Amino acid sequence: MGGDGGSIPSRIDLVRTSGYAFSRNLGGMGYLPNTQCRAGDEHLSSNQMKELRWKTCALSQEPLAPPIVSCKLGLLYNKEAVLKYILSKKPKPSFEHLKGLRDIKDVEFMVDKVTQRFLCPILRTELSASNRGVLIWKCGCCVSEKAFKQFMKNDSTEGLCPNCNSSFKYNPEIFNKSQTLPFSSDLVFLVPDLNEEGLLRTKLLHLNNKTIKTQ
């Protein structure tokens, strides 16, 4: 901010961040303590936070609009916002895992024509904080967790997407949400709460570090 080798923000930069703050209580669980969020979001319940995340781009904080993509953490973004961020080559603390197109996946959402909310294409139920969506990374289809479990066998590591019939592999134990389970790149639970996101960030960081060491 001047004198320390940093940059001096312009007025437009300050305007863009007006109404936002850095969350104070996000330490631990691998969650970054300087994650920027809406100034009032710290007081939202877990379900209220999830509902907000179902409607808002995690990067730009603008309303979600097609094309929509997800990262391996299950956060939702406007694709245009992510592409601009990647091309800018200016990493932000909470989004350093977004380095290229391989880190995002286009999500094939079914949208209710009246409410404009996202629906499970199998059960036709609205995806929400209480009816979470499961993204099958290989094909990009998103179905509700309930629909997914109805079509998958508990003892199988291979399955067919209940929406498009594409084959994929996965670990059935992922639904146990155990902290000891490895990070899953095949299935992504969309719109995690802050605690879930923190755990996922820790696992993703460990996976990336392991990948770098083996290269």
| pLDDT value for 112 | 95
| pLDDT value for 107 | 97
Q: Do 94 and 29 belong together in one domain?
A: no
Q: Do 36 and 64 belong together in one domain?
A: no
Model pLDDT for residues 28-87, shown as the tens digit of each residue = 333 344 444 544 455 678 788 889 999 999 999 999 999 999 999 999 999 999 999 999
Top pLDDT among 197 and 6 is at 197
Q: Do 55 and 34 belong together in one domain?
A: no
Question: At residue 166, does pLDDT exceed 90?
Answer: yes
Q: Do 90 and 195 belong together in one domain?
A: yes
Question: At residue 138, does pLDDT exceed 90?
Answer: yes
Top pLDDT among 213 and 184 is at 184
CA distance 135 to 122: 13
Return the CATH number at 207: 3.30.40.10
| pLDDT value for 101 | 95
How high does pLDDT run on average in the chain? 79
Give me the number of domains the chain comprises: 2
Question: Is 75 within the bounds of a domain?
Answer: yes
Res. 178 pLDDT band, cuts 50 70 90? low
Res. 22 pLDDT band, cuts 50 70 90? very low
| pLDDT value for 31 | 38
Question: Is 10 within the bounds of a domain?
Answer: no
Q: What's the rounded mean pLDDT across residues 109-128?
A: 95
137 bridge partner residues: none
Q: What's the rounded mean pLDDT across residues 134-152?
A: 93
Question: Is 57 within the bounds of a domain?
Answer: yes
| pLDDT value for 8 | 43
Question: At residue 140, does pLDDT exceed 70?
Answer: yes
Residue span of the structural domain in which 149 resides: 46-214
Category of 29 on φ-ψ map: left (φ > 0), alpha (ψ -120 to 50) or beta: left
Burial of residue 192 (number of CB atoms within 10 Å: 0-12, 13-18, 19+): buried
Question: Is 159 within the bounds of a domain?
Answer: yes
Model pLDDT for residues 193-210, shown as the tens digit of each residue = 888 888 888 888 877 765
Q: Do 128 and 166 belong together in one domain?
A: yes
Res. 15 pLDDT band, cuts 50 70 90? very low
- Among 44, 60, 82, the domain-final residue is 44
Q: What are phi and psi of 21, to 5 degrees?
A: -145, 170
Question: At residue 184, does pLDDT exceed 70?
Answer: no
CB atoms within 10 A of CB 105: 19
